Amino acid sequence: MTTNLLNPKQTNQRVLFAGDIHGNTDHARWVFKHARENDCTHIISVGDFGFWTHFESGREFVNTVAGLAKDAQIKFLWVDGNHENHDILRGLVEHYGADKPIDTPNEWCQYIPRGCRFFIGDTSFLGYGGAYSVDWLDRQEGISWWRDELINPFHIDTLVSEPVDILVTHEAPYNDGNKITYKDEIQISIAQRHLVKELLDKFTPQFHICGHHHTRVDWQDGETQVSVLGRDTQEADSVLILDLLTDDDEPTTGEFSFQGEKFNELLETFTK
């Protein structure tokens, strides 16, 4: 099943992709301001959105984003990063399914489950969140860290190999050993990038947009333009705007904004 998220405000849709927001309300307001100034119809967050609704401050943040989206009439969608409450997200997927975006808390702010396909206008998307937290030992399980943050290779195998126009992930795809940040010196982080590269190869998108590394990088992978977005506080380096055209036109860039043991223990949880 696919879901069409056409915003009737415009015939040709313009999407702003936002890097890691991290529950930063001030940055979220900046993102919406930038989207309004550029006549965007949708915002898609590439993970580490800030879905910590087990805290009052987290609920206030999500409700603020939903209010900003409704007021601006700009649909806000997000994939999960490593820093989200994955217990709650798992419950939402079990209840509503993974075949369409899920209201969080309303239709203006929606979660894109892993492997979910949807359309905006005539452009097809697939979202797939998840990544490894390099600081997980300094966090508390079930409060600030969740095992479900990791991308599950067995789930990737279940996805149908049907091409999409735009792939949205949190982690970046592996790039022939080229490092983005210090995270690429950690074995499990490298393994997660290999899994995202499997997604890229499986769905052969025109654009693959991601975050997680808190820096702005672009490269070409075959026919795919890969764009890694920055984080909150980096403003212009944290966003990318694409125009999604109708009929036989392809999506075009509306704006390139310059705007061990523990490892094995984690992997073993996938087989239980």
Q: Which residues contact 46 (CB under 8 A, 6 or more apart)?
A: 17, 18, 19, 20, 78, 79, 81, 168, 169, 170, 209, 210, 211, 212, 229
**What pLDDT score does 263 carry?**
36
Q: Is the whole model's pTM more than 0.75, yes or no?
A: yes
Residue at token pair 């990088």 = 217
- The answer as to CATH 2.40.37.10 being correct for domain 11-271 is no
Concatenating the DSSP letter of every residue in 8-29 gives: TT-SSEEEEEE---TT-HHHHH
Are 58 and 50 spatial neighbours (Cβ–Cβ below 8 Å)? yes
**What pLDDT score does 188 carry?**
97
pLDDT surpasses 70 at 253: no
Q: State pLDDT tens for residues 158-171.
A: 999 999 999 999 99
State how far the Cα of 50 lies from the Cα of 242, in Å rounded to an integer. 23
Does an H or E element contain 111, and which?
A: strand 109-111
User: Domain ranges in the chain?
Assistant: 11-271
Q: How many whole angstroms from its chain centre is CA 122?
A: 20
Q: State pLDDT tens for residues 51-63.
A: 999 999 999 999 9
State how far the Cα of 65 lies from the Cα of 59, in Å rounded to an integer. 10
Asked if omega into 105 is within 30° of 0 (cis), the reply is yes
**What pLDDT score does 242 carry?**
96
Does an H or E element contain 240, and which?
A: strand 239-244
**Of the given ranges (5-14, 18-27, 237-246), which has the lowest mean pLDDT?**
5-14
Q: State pLDDT tens for residues 93-129.
A: 999 999 999 999 999 999 999 999 999 999 999 999 9
pLDDT surpasses 60 at 257: no
Q: CA 207 → CA 68, 240, 243, distances in Å?
A: 27, 11, 12
- Read off the pLDDT of each residue in 226-245 and give the average, rounded to a whole number: 95
State how far the Cα of 84 lies from the Cα of 124, in Å rounded to an integer. 25
State how far the Cα of 40 lies from the Cα of 23, in Å rounded to an integer. 21
Q: Mean pLDDT of all residues in the chain?
A: 90
Closest C-alpha to 19, from 241, 252, 251, 245: 241
**What pLDDT score does 12 carry?**
74
